[in-house]
Amino acid sequence: MSPSIRTALCPVAASSGTGGPAAPYLRPRPDDGLALSLTVPCAPRSAGIVRAAVSCALHAHGLDRYALPATIAMTELVATATLLDAEEDLYLSLRHREDVLRLVVWDQHPRHSDPDAVAVCEERRRRSLWLLAAVVGDWGGDWGVGDAHPPHRGTKSWVVLPR
């Protein structure tokens, strides 16, 4: 039997029945998908933090094929959100299920009450996401922006990248 550090394991799960230590957290099950959620400050430096986190998460799950479009997409979503709402946190989600990668950014930019302000704000956001649109379109994916649904508030921007 190989030596192991047993102090970090739950005593009940310390043995897998084969005489060796159980380490289910080291062996992802094939049906497990990637699920990553982050909260970051709504600040320009967050784009780099998110880019690194997304890249590492994709690599850890063997999803390197998504690295370029996903890191560009998430960086663009975060960078745009920081231009429109610099006071609140951003909530991010990265999920991979059934050969589809989903990226979501919720910013807390409030919905305007004036219809003209709504139109101007939406146009500015879409115009600032031109690189995202090009990358996602080239990848055969889809993206969009809309109001966040409760319990979230503000604006939800999303990207779907198929295999």
Instruction: Say how far residue 2 (Cα) sits from the centre of its chain.
Output: 38
pLDDT tens digit sequence for 46-66: 999 999 999 999 999 999 999
Instruction: Report if pTM > 0.85.
Output: no
Residue 2 is predicted with a pLDDT of 53
The 3 state secondary structure assigned to the chain is CCCCCCCCCCCCCCCCCCCCCCCHHHCCCCCCCEEEEEEEECCCHHHHHHHHHHHHHHHHCCCHHHHHHHHHHHHHHHHHHHHHCCCCEEEEEEEEECCEEEEEEEECCCCCCCHHHHHHHHHHHHHHCHHHHHHHHHHCCEEEEEECCCCCCCEEEEEEEEC
pLDDT tens digit sequence for 30-48: 546 899 999 999 888 999 9
Mean pLDDT of the chain: 82
Residue 11 is predicted with a pLDDT of 54
Residue 31 is predicted with a pLDDT of 47
Residue 110 is predicted with a pLDDT of 75
Q: Domains in the chain, start-ordered, CATH in brackets?
A: 32-162 (3.30.565.10)
Kindly state the average pLDDT of the residues 139-151.
87
